[in-house]
Amino acid sequence: MKIEIGAVTLCAGGLDSPEDLTREAADTIQVIAGLRAVWGQAVNRGNRVHTLRFQLTKSYDTAQLAEVALLDHPGDVPTTGNVKLTSEGTSPTVRYIRNATVHAFAARQIGVSILWQYSITGGEISATA
């Protein structure tokens, strides 16, 4: 799968596809507790939010290039924008998470490789941008 936010490609697809791709969806829940009630009542208020979490291992030609990427890449990734998800195959499917936020980012260097980890949260996943 290819994953892009704005003009930045986080995962190019093919060998650079996401690892441990997880999609979570959660609605806003309000708990109503009556005066002296034994039990509260959960009310689904909607406002569903999707969170996409994944990691990607990239190898570099030298440890120095990996170190530069480790230091520079976070500044190159937009924190908000439309996320484009493109499946792989003979007839790719494209979906969008509009007005998404890259809210968690981590990287771990192992020699000439870096394990990048991203968490992206947004609203509806849609076929249109």
pLDDT in tens, 6-48: 999 999 999 889 999 999 999 999 999 988 889 999 999 988 9
Domain 2-126 has CATH 2.160.20: no
3-state secondary structure of 111: coil
Extents of the domains making up the chain: 2-126
For residue 125, give the nearest of 82, 84, 96, 100 by alpha carbon: 96
pLDDT, tens digit, 9 for 90 and up, residues 53-110: 999 999 999 999 999 999 998 888 999 999 999 999 899 999 999 999 998 889 999 9
By the 8 A CB rule, do 27 and 109 touch?
A: no
- For residue 58, which of 3, 2, 17 has the smallest C-alpha distance? 17
Instruction: Give CA–CA dist 123/72, Å, rounded.
Output: 28
